[in-house]
Amino acid sequence: MRYVFFTMPEGRKMAQGKILLKPGTLWTSVKERTEHALQCGALLSIPTEFEFVEQDGVRFLVRILSNLNRKKAAKEKQKKQSATSAQEFNPFLPYEEDLFVADISDTHVCILNKFNVVDYHLLIITRAFEEQESLLTLEDFAAMWSCLADFDGLGFYNSGKTAGASQRHKHLQLVPLPLAPSGPQIPIEPLLTAAQFQESMPSGAVGFTNIIPKLPFLHAFAPLNPDWMQSPFTAAQATLEVYRTLLDAVGLDARQSGPYNLLATREWMLIVPRSHEHFQSISVNSLGFAGALLVRNAAEMEILKAQGPMTILKSVAV
């Protein structure tokens, strides 16, 4: 792959917030808080089995949920709380203290995903309420990079319900790599090496976007510079430029965007606009576009195998 990194325009000033996360501490905090949350019952991991399903050069990791009773019970409880209070219940205001991992910045905190399927699944949430459909900000990306500096993972954002978001309160998510026990760290990675640069770019865009020839749906891809981790706010400003360019490249309005999935590692970012949340009964979020899908039972697994995972992604994308 030819790497052309986005660079920040010279002379631009940014209003820096305050990073509270001490470098080199996050991974230790995640492990310690996970052990605590399991012991006290705050963390309700959902057990799964998995198998690989291949299509179009990708070895998709497909997890099969074995027990959703805990999550169903929690959703019913949320509905009752919303009915009682006459407003939608927000599990992040306040968040459960037993799930708290770290203060990231003056705008974001990091907590464990209560109903995790992947071990050490983190949520990066805003301290104050913001809508999940709102655009990502400098502060969001600074929080993401602060975590990525100490946690080699896949960050992602489900922008709205159609993109697979289950809560309205703005939150990015982070899962450790590798996603699969064998093969590439991220199942979709073999296709990313064939990224091709777009010839035409939006006026005034900084850098270049790529397309992945074997992804059969609308998307935009760009490399990121791992060295940006050394300064979260410097990284955030550069990443914000990339993000806005990718949104523009797929026809999303940078002022009021439609539903999309965003995936980011230390080395690249991918944006995929969405048209549907489900393919039949199978829900798809950002992890699906990383090559990791989730089905609730054997019947859904049969649907996935019959249709093919890439076909399903094409159906819920644009």
Residue 78 belongs to a domain: yes
- Residue 1 within any structural domain of the chain: no
- Domain region containing 198: 26-316
Q: Is residue 55 part of a domain?
A: yes
In contact, 106 and 146? CB cutoff 8 Å: no
pLDDT at 81: 61
Instruction: Give residue for tokens 């760290």.
Output: 185
The per-residue pLDDT for 87 is: 67
- Give me the CATH number covering residue 173: 3.30.428.70
The per-residue pLDDT for 256 is 61
Instruction: Let me know if residue 12 belongs to a domain.
Output: no
Q: How far apart are CA 300 and CA 217, in angstroms?
A: 22
CA-nearest of 110, 92, 114, 93 to 41 is 114
Exposure string (b/e) for 44-75, b if CB count within 10 Å is 16 or more?
bbbeeeeebbebeebbbbbbbbeeeeeeeeee
Question: Is residue 8 in a domain?
Answer: no
Predicted local distance difference test score (pLDDT) of residue 77: 59
**Structural domain contains residue 213:** yes
Separation CA 171–CA 158 (nearest Å): 9
Looking at the chain, list the stretches that DSSP marks H as alpha helix, in order from N- to C-terminal side.
26-40, 69-85, 138-148, 189-192, 232-249, 286-289, 298-307, 309-316
Q: Specify the number of domains making up the chain.
A: 1
pLDDT reported for residue 205: 41
Residue that is written with structure tokens 């996603």 in the block:
179
Residue 16 in domain: no
Q: Look at residue 68 in the predicted model and tell me its pLDDT.
A: 59
User: Is 282 within the bounds of a domain?
Assistant: yes
- Residue 202 has a pLDDT of 42
CA distance 294 to 39: 26
Sites in the chain below the pLDDT cut of 50 = 1-15, 199-207
